[in-house]
Amino acid sequence: MLQNIMAVATTLHILSVIVWIGGMFFAHMALRPVVANLLEPPIRLQVMAQVLERFFLWVWIAVILLWATGLWIIFGFFDGMASIRISVHIMFSLAAIMTALYIYIFFIPFPNLRLAISTENFKQAGQYLAKIRSIIGFNLLLGIITVIIATGGRYF
């Protein structure tokens, strides 16, 4: 039974990691530089806003699943927070920072970006997008560090 819990929870946990970190990697490293190169500001901003809108829906699902499965493993398989190794404590803390930054993006600069686009204030929209981009870049870095610690950390 415990084995089954781990199998389901870990699989969902890793699928969520793929969606969130992989999505940020693609958006930051591949999509954004090309869009910035090829498209003029009004259309570029609209493309990025619509891409982010679709991506953020999946990030919500991934974030909820990450926390649910992570806590499920800690309390269903391990013996609670006191029993987990240091790499999981670090994963937990970095994930909390990443989640807080994501929630901030979603509720502050992202609605502002959409509002600025709808009122055709493209200069301001560009500033909001730049802010979102820098936070996503930072979250991507934290996400990669988290994966390194979560996977490699278990051997120390």
Q: Which residues bind ligand HEM (CB under 6 A)?
A: 13-14, 17, 21, 66-67, 70-71, 73-74, 88, 91-92, 95, 98, 143, 146-147, 150-151, 154
**Least distance in angstroms from the C-beta of 116 to ligand HEM:** 29
113 and 45 Cβ atoms separated by less than 8 Å: yes
**Least distance in angstroms from the C-beta of 98 to ligand HEM:** 5
Q: CA 80, CA 32: separation in Å to the nearest integer?
A: 41
**Least distance in angstroms from the C-beta of 88 to ligand HEM:** 5
Q: CA 113, CA 118: separation in Å to the nearest integer?
A: 9
**Least distance in angstroms from the C-beta of 8 to ligand HEM:** 13
Q: CA 71, CA 76: separation in Å to the nearest integer?
A: 8
Of the two residues 25 and 122, which places its CB atom closer to ligand HEM in the complex? Answer: 25
Q: CA 144, CA 116: separation in Å to the nearest integer?
A: 32
In the 8-state DSSP scheme, what is residue 79? Answer: S
Of the two residues 18 and 36, which places its CB atom closer to ligand HEM in the complex? Answer: 18
**Least distance in angstroms from the C-beta of 137 to ligand HEM:** 15
Closest residue to ligand HEM: CB criterion: 70
Of the two residues 8 and 43, which places its CB atom closer to ligand HEM in the complex? Answer: 8
Of the two residues 98 and 129, which places its CB atom closer to ligand HEM in the complex? Answer: 98
Closest C-alpha among 110, 102, 103 to residue 45: 110
Of the two residues 74 and 113, which places its CB atom closer to ligand HEM in the complex? Answer: 74
Q: CA 51, CA 64: separation in Å to the nearest integer?
A: 20
Closest C-alpha among 113, 126, 150, 136 to residue 20: 136
